């Protein structure tokens, strides 16, 4: 009886999906996180899986974990004390960044404080030229002196980032060796070994993010391995990555920057898998947990990827699932600012003390409390009976906000939801504009503990007429771990014109990428199954400041089909900007490769079709659209394939509550997903 386990830890709950492979049965569970005792929630969950579902830890063949430890470290600024070693004269690279303010239109915005203060940034004499040749030798004595100064200043580790190291990393690696010999107590990372791309600031900040989270990630993953060992789990744990794949814990301790969006990416991959299974090729995923809401696009059945995603206040330049994060989760706190305006988030009540209605000591109103006051929540146990709602506590918390606003209790609760949804609306519009698509052409897939609670209301604001709610929406991120592939990204900066003279360079780079990818997958990760290798190129017209990524085929390079390469770029440029310049010369900046070792995805049973409408358990009163409405309450387990009903309605289940406003019809598909549809929304 072999078992596969996917685990995702969020701000409020840790989610488990466990599958016994011989029967294909999926068992799910939620456990409250224990911030004061990290790792205890994992042990508690494994124990509950054993007690409730007969888990045999010794038969676990696959264990995949998604975590927020990296991104939380950056957001909370609880990372390592770092020093930076750079070229003499370039010590202000972190402060200068890209000379842009976070909000162009705000007179009060301020740039984020750098993760490394200026007094721990050291310049040393050396220079690699743009073509990769040495222009000035490395001053070894200066490197050793800088390492000692960094240690004296209290640094835990040093990041080495020199000009043009993407062409030739020799100076960076030589400096790292000197630092390790001079100050063995400090850890060292070189920027080019983490992500060898052109542009000094982007390469440097990626190295800094990697080093900043390294100690906490290292401790966390070591504790994870120890917990699994105590429970006699033989499977080597794998970690979900920002690019939607997985990697070993051993690699995760070093390539920390690759797992900053670990849990977030896992959710998107789980949602895209369920959407494809249901025949949906264009989906807008909405993951709302206890602390934030994350939105992403699925086009032609595949999640969309990019670089430059924001991690807290800092950009991440390694490839990752393109996600926009919003500070509106179920535990986001509602408050009134100095001007008497209602605000929601970004502060969250988390799991401790949690929303007031959880009865765990929280006293400040949250989105969850507002939903409880309105009557949407509180009709069934939540989180597999880990939570029982206390509506009176929610009313007390929301009542304090109502008093400050001078409004009624229900009006205030409804206003809290409206403010939260409006914040999501703005961020979703930014995301779809970036990809040049119309949200109304997509199906919204809400998941997470609070996704189904708010998702349909967001769909109405966006004009989206189709919504698919997965069978187990609160566990989609954990499911993402079960279906994730072993995956890694590789890049070569070439900076060449797209022409016949450069074909040998292109072919050599493609072959080198293929060799690196195979070595990483087979030797590095020990993967023995089926794998694929895909390519893309970052290209631009001469004179443009930035490039766009274009999917390409290896055969185009090998056969010298430059016209095909150009055509692919022109089409992509037209998709994004509505024009292409057929006469302009093209530069190929980076050649990229993605290797994917394919995991066998679980197969879910299909339910026979039934006709007719389900019978509600009872009618409940909900404050909806400015007044009280009696609406049906359906237990999710009582809804079967082919049955349909109309909103407004509530669907209650162990991991979440689905709130369906009026105007949407619901039907259950063969996998237990609920499909909601509405007429055109003005």
437 in a structural domain: no
What is the per-residue pLDDT for 384? Answer: 66
Give a three-class secondary structure readout of 222-234: HHHHHHHHHCCCC
Domain around 512 = 486-597
- CATH number, domain of 555, equals 3.30.1490
Q: Are residues 631 and 579 part of one domain? A: no
Q: Are residues 206 and 96 part of one domain? A: yes
**Sheet of strand 121-124, all strands in order from the earlier edge strand to the far edge:** 121-124, 82-87, 157-160, 187-190
| Residue after which a domain boundary falls, among 543, 566, 597 | 597
500 in a structural domain: yes
Residue of 414, 416, 421 whose CA lies nearest to 365 = 416
Helix 409-435 × helix 367-374 angle, to 10°: 130
Phi and psi of 535, rounded to 5°?
-125, 155
Q: Are residues 206 and 117 part of one domain? A: yes
Mean pLDDT, the chain cut into blocks of 10 residues (682 residues total):
85 81 78 70 87 88 87 85 97 85 76 91 96 96 97 97 95 98 97 91 94 93 90 91 90 91 88 93 90 86 80 81 78 91 85 84 92 90 74 94 95 94 86 83 92 92 94 89 91 93 95 96 91 96 92 95 95 91 93 93 83 90 91 94 93 90 92 90 56
Q: Are residues 591 and 492 part of one domain? A: yes
What is the per-residue pLDDT for 107? Answer: 79
| Burial zone of 482 (CB within 10 Å; 0-12 exposed, 13-18 middle, 19+ buried) | buried
Q: Are residues 645 and 568 part of one domain? A: no
Q: Are residues 663 and 561 part of one domain? A: no
What is the per-residue pLDDT for 328? Answer: 76
Q: Are residues 653 and 581 part of one domain? A: no
d(CA 540, CA 124) in angstroms, rounded, equals: 34
DSSP string, 281-310: SSEEEEEE-SS-EEEEEEETTEE-EES-EE
Buried b (16+ CB within 10 A) or exposed e, 548-567: bbbebebebbeeeebeebbe
d(CA 301, CA 586) in angstroms, rounded, equals: 30
- Residues in the chain, total: 682
Q: Are residues 202 and 170 part of one domain? A: yes
Residue of 136, 622, 137 whose CA lies nearest to 379 = 622
Decide if 551 contacts 591 (C-beta within 8 A). Answer: no
Give a three-class secondary structure readout of 642-668: CCEEECCEEEECCCCEEEECCCCEEEE
117 in a structural domain: yes
Decide if 533 contacts 487 (C-beta within 8 A). Answer: no
Decide if 490 contacts 592 (C-beta within 8 A). Answer: yes
Query: Three-state SS for 334?
Result: strand
Query: Three-state SS for 27?
Result: strand
307 in a structural domain: no
d(CA 517, CA 492) in angstroms, rounded, equals: 12
Q: Are residues 114 and 171 part of one domain? A: yes
Q: Are residues 559 and 643 part of one domain? A: no
397 in a structural domain: no
Reported pTM = 0.84
Bond prior to 17 in cis (omega within 30° of 0): no
Residues 6+ apart with CB under 8 A from 654: 28, 30, 381, 382, 383, 384, 385, 474
157 in a structural domain: yes
Give the CA angle between residues 222, 226, 229 to the nearest 5°: 140
Q: How many domains does the chain have?
A: 3
Q: Are residues 624 and 567 part of one domain? A: no
540 in a structural domain: yes
Decide if 471 contacts 447 (C-beta within 8 A). Answer: no
280 in a structural domain: no
- CATH number, domain of 154, equals 3.40.50
Q: Are residues 651 and 563 part of one domain? A: no
| Residue after which a domain boundary falls, among 165, 184, 216 | 216
Decide if 374 contacts 628 (C-beta within 8 A). Answer: no
């Amino acid at each position: 009886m072999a078992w596969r386990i996917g685990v995702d830890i969020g701000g409020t709950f840790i989610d488990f999906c466990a599958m016994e492979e011989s029967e294909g049965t999926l068992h799910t569970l939620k456990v409250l996180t224990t911030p004061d005792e990290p790792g205890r929630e994992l042990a508690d969950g494994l124990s509950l899986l054993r007690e409730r579902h007969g888990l045999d830890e010794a038969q676990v063949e696959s264990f995949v974990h998604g975590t927020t430890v990296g991104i939380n470290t950056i957001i909370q600024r609880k990372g390592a004390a770092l020093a930076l070693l750079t070229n003499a004269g370039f010590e202000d690279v972190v402060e200068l960044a890209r000379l842009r303010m976070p909000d162009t239109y705000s007179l009060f915005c301020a740039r984020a404080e750098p993760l490394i203060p200026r007094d721990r940034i050291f310049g040393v004499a050396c220079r690699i030229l743009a073509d990769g040749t040495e222009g000035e030798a490395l001053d070894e004595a200066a490197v050793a002196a800088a390492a000692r100064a960094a240690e004296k200043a209290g640094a835990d580790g040093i990041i080495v980032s020199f000009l043009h190291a993407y062409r030739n990393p020799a100076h960076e690696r030589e400096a790292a060796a000197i630092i390790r010999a001079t100050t063995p107590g400090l850890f060292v990372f070189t920027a080019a070994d983490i992500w060898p791309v052109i542009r000094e600031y982007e390469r440097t900040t990626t190295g800094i993010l990697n080093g900043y989270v390294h100690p906490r990630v290292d401790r966390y993953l070591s504790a994870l391995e120890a917990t699994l060992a105590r429970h006699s789990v033989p499977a080597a744990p794998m970690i979900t990555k920002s690019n939607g794949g997985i990697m070993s814990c051993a690699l995760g301790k070093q390539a920390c920057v690759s797992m900053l969006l670990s849990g977030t990416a896992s959710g998107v991959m789980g949602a895209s898998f369920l959407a494809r299974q249901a025949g949906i090729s264009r989906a807008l995923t909405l993951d709302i947990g206890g602390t934030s809401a994350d939105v992403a696009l699925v086009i032609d059945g595949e999640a969309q990827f990019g670089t430059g995603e924001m991690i807290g206040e800092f950009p991440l330049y390694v490839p990752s699932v393109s996600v926009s994060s919003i500070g509106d989760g179920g535990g986001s706190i509602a408050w009134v600012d100095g001007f008497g305006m209602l605000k929601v988030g970004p502060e969250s009540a988390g799991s401790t003390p949690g929303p007031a209605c959880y009865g765990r000591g929280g006293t400040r109103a949250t989105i969850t409390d507002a939903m409880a006051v309105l009557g949407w929540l509180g009709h069934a146990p939540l989180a597999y009976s880990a939570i029982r709602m206390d509506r009176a506590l929610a009313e007390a918390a929301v009542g304090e906000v109502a008093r400050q606003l001078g409004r009624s209790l229900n009006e205030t609760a409804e206003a809290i939801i409206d403010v939260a949804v409006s914040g999501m609306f703005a961020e979703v519009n930014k995301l779809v504009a970036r990809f040049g698509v119309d949200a109304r052409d997509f199906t919204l897939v809400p998941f997470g503990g609070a996704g189904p609670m708010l998702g349909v209301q967001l769909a109405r604001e966006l004009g989206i007429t189709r919504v698919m709610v997965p069978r187990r929406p609160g566990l989609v991120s954990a499911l993402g771990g079960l279906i994730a592939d072993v995956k890694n990204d590789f890049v070569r900066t070439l900076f060449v014109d797209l022409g016949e003279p450069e074909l040998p360079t292109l072919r050599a780079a493609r072959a080198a990428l293929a060799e690196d990818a195979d070595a990483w997958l087979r030797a590095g990760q020990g993967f023995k199954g089926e794998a694929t290798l895909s390519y893309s190129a970052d290209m631009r017209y001469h004179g443009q400041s930035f490039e766009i990524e274009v999917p390409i085929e290896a055969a185009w390079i090998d056969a010298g089909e430059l016209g095909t390469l150009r055509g692919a770029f022109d089409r992509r440029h037209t998709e994004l900007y509505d024009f292409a310049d057929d006469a302009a010369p093209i530069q190929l900046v980076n050649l990229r490769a993605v290797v994917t070792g394919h995991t066998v995805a679980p197969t879910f049973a299909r339910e026979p079709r039934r006709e007719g409408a389900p019978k509600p358990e009872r009618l409940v009163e909900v404050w909806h659209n400015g007044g009280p409405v009696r609406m049906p309450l359906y237990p999710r387990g009582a809804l079967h394939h082919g049955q349909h009903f109309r909103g407004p309605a509530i669907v209650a289940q162990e991991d979440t509550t689905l709130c369906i406003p009026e105007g949407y019809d619901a039907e259950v598909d063969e996998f237990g997903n609920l499909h909601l549809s509405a007429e055109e929304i003005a």
